[in-house]
């Protein structure tokens, strides 16, 4: 039986994101496998790929100050979720990415369970949230 994916869809990936420009291509593949595994662990059995417009939020909680640029972690994550959650990353109408380095204290008013998990988890951790309403935060 096929199941439609319900949004918001959120999960946490443990580990340090790997840049698209990684010199060791194996490191990039391993990171993308880790992202896929975390997504699949949270997907309902028998789900089908969504084909509508989406937004994605990436909140990175590093263990130490980020050495590279935050934008370099985005593309590997988007590519990893293609054919796992959505048909194509062209469906993404909005991408939000932010880092929360140690000492950069920010208190979320009402974090979801997945975001609270990422905040409380040993670092590094990456929170990933997808919505089927790319305009929800713009109203």
- CA distances for 65 relative to 1, 6, 25, 97, angstroms: 45, 34, 24, 16
Task: Quote the pTM value.
Answer: 0.94
Token digits for 137? 């935060």
| CB-CB neighbours of 103 under 10 Å | 6
pLDDT at 138: 77
Residue 56 contacts residue 128 (beta carbons within 8 Å): yes
pLDDT by 10s per residue, the chain, length 139? 678 899 999 999 999 999 887 778 899 999 999 999 999 999 999 999 999 999 999 999 999 998 888 999 999 999 999 999 999 999 999 999 999 999 887 889 999 999 999 999 999 999 999 999 999 877 6
Architecture of domain 9-138: 2-Layer Sandwich (3.30)
Whether the link from the prior residue into 38 is cis, omega within 30° of 0, is no
């Amino acid at each position: 039986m096929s199941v439609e994916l319900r949004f918001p869809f959120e999960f946490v990936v443990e580990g340090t994101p790997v840049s698209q420009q990684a010199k060791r291509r194996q490191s990039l593949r391993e990171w993308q496998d880790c992202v896929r595994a975390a997504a699949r662990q949270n997907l309902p059995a028998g789900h089908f790929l969504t084909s509508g417009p989406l937004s994605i939020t990436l909140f990175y909680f590093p263990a130490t100050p980020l050495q590279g640029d935050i934008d370099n972690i985005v593309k590997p994550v988007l590519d990893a979720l293609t054919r796992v959650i959505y048909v194509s990353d062209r469906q993404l109408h909005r991408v939000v990415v932010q880092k929360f380095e140690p000492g950069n204290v920010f208190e979320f008013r009402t974090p979801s369970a997945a975001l609270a998990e990422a905040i409380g988890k040993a670092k590094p951790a990456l929170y990933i949230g997808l919505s089927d309403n790319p305009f929800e935060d713009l109203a």
